[in-house]
C-alpha cells in the first residue's frame, strides 16, 4: 500500500514538473514578455505560464508596496518586499535569456556575435532595465511620496487617518509605475546598448583588419 502511494506521488510530481517545463517553453515560443503582462503586482503564482501571462509583471513592485507600508510595519517586512522583487528580477532575466536561446540568433547576430556573447548582452540589458524601471526609480518614487504625504498628514487629528493616510496614498500610486517608467527606461536602455553593440562591432572589425595586415 505504502509503495503504491509513493509511486502515485512520484508520478504526479513528475507530471507537474513536465507540465511546468512545457508551460515555460510554450511561453518562450509565443514570445510572451513579462513586462507586457500584469504580473509585476503579484508576489506569488500557482503556475509558471499563468504567472508569466497574466500577472508576473507586478511582482517587481512588491518592494514598492513594502515602501508604502514602511510607516506602519516592521522593517523586516519592507526588506522582504525587496527580496521578492529581486527574486522576480532574477527569474525575469533568466526567462528572457531562455526565450532568446530558444528563438536563436538573427542572421546579423549569428554573423557578428558568439551565442555566449549574444545571450550575455541580452541578459545584461534586461537586468539593467529591470533594475532601473522596476527597482530604483519606483522605490525612490514611492518612498518620496509616502514621506511627503506623512508631512501633509502631520496635523491630522484622526490617529488612524494620520497613521494610514500616507500608506494608502503610496499604494494608490503603485498601478501607475509601469506607465511612468517602462517606456522611457526601455528607450534609454535600447539606445545605450545599441551604442555598446556598435562599439563592440567596430572594435571587432579593427581587430580583423589588423590581423589581415599582419598576415600580409
Residue 56 is assigned to a structural domain of this protein: no
Give the chain's domain count: 1
Residue 168 is assigned to a structural domain of this protein: yes
pLDDT score, position 93: 92
Range of the domain at 92: 61-215
Residue 66 is assigned to a structural domain of this protein: yes
Cell numbers placing 31: 514570445
Residue whose cell numbers read 517553453: 25
Residue 121 is assigned to a structural domain of this protein: yes
pLDDT at 134 > cutoff 80: yes
Element holding 1 (H helix, E strand)? none
Residue 6 is assigned to a structural domain of this protein: no
Interhelix angle 75-103/115-130, rounded to 10 degrees, is 150
Spatial separation of the C-alpha atoms in residues 59 and 77, rounded to whole Å: 15
Spatial separation of the C-alpha atoms in residues 49 and 137, rounded to whole Å: 28
Cell numbers placing 118: 549574444
Residue 186 is assigned to a structural domain of this protein: yes
Residue 164 is assigned to a structural domain of this protein: yes
Please write the tens of the pLDDT for every residue from 179-192: 889 899 999 999 99
pLDDT at 56 > cutoff 60: no
pLDDT at 127 > cutoff 50: yes
Please write the tens of the pLDDT for every residue from 64-123: 777 788 877 788 888 888 888 888 889 889 999 999 999 999 898 888 889 999 999 999
Residue whose cell numbers read 496635523: 155
Q: 196 or 215, which is more confident?
A: 196
Residue 4 is assigned to a structural domain of this protein: no
Amino acid at each position: 500500500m505504502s509503495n503504491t502511494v509513493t509511486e502515485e506521488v512520484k508520478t504526479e510530481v513528475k507530471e507537474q514538473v513536465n507540465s511546468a517545463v512545457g508551460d515555460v517553453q510554450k511561453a518562450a515560443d509565443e514570445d510572451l514578455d513579462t513586462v507586457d503582462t500584469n504580473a509585476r503586482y503579484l508576489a506569488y503564482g500557482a503556475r509558471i505560464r499563468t504567472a508569466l501571462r497574466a500577472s508576473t509583471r507586478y511582482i517587481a513592485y512588491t518592494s514598492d508596496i513594502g515602501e508604502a507600508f514602511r510607516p506602519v510595519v516592521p522593517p523586516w517586512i519592507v526588506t522582504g518586499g525587496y527580496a521578492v522583487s529581486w527574486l522576480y528580477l532574477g527569474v525575469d532575466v533568466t526567462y528572457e535569456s531562455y526565450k532568446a536561446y530558444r528563438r536563436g540568433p538573427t542572421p546579423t547576430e549569428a554573423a557578428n556575435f558568439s551565442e555566449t556573447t549574444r545571450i550575455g548582452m541580452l541578459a545584461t540589458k534586461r537586468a539593467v532595465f529591470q533594475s532601473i524601471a522596476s527597482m530604483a526609480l519606483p522605490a525612490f518614487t514611492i518612498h518620496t511620496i509616502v514621506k511627503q504625504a506623512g508631512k501633509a498628514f502631520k496635523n491630522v487629528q484622526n490617529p488612524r487617518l494620520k497613521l494610514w493616510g500616507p500608506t494608502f496614498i503610496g499604494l494608490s500610486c503603485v498601478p501607475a509605475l509601469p506607465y511612468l517608467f517602462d517606456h522611457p527606461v526601455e528607450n534609454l536602455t535600447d539606445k545605450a546598448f545599441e551604442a555598446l553593440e556598435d562599439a563592440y562591432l567596430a572594435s571587432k572589425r579593427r581587430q580583423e583588419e589588423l590581423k589581415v595586415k599582419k598576415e600580409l
